[in-house]
Amino acid sequence: MNFKPTNRYILLQCVESPTDTASMLVPEEFRTKPRHSQYKVLSTAPDCTITLHAGQSVVAENSMIEVVKIKDQEHTLVLENYILGIVDAE
């Protein structure tokens, strides 16, 4: 299934684990989560005001990430306002 974001949303893929206590034997709902994570851009809505390209790495606020499930596929989205920066590969 091909999913295309609209309304200034950006389709992402998580690059780093959003949990920093994954090695602990604690139920998921009690694990602390970092405030920000790194994501790979998969696609952007045509009306985004920031220029991002597929494959770029960005940092976004985890509390603003939206996961949409359609026919057993999850799509990770964030509004462009919650992209805090672009991570350049060195």
What confidence score (pLDDT) does residue 24 get?
61
Q: Where residue 89 falls among pLDDT bands split at 50, 70, 90?
A: confident
Q: At residue 67, does pLDDT exceed 80?
A: yes
Long-range contacts of 1-7 (CB under 8 A, 24+ apart): 1/70, 1/71, 1/73, 3/43, 3/68, 3/70, 3/73, 3/75, 4/43, 4/45, 5/43, 5/44, 5/45, 5/77, 6/45, 6/46, 6/47, 7/45, 7/47
pTM: 0.80
CATH code of the region 9-18+32-87: 2.30.33
* pLDDT tens profile 8-65: 999 999 987 555 555 567 776 777 778 999 999 999 999 999 999 999 999 999 999 9
What confidence score (pLDDT) does residue 76 get?
97
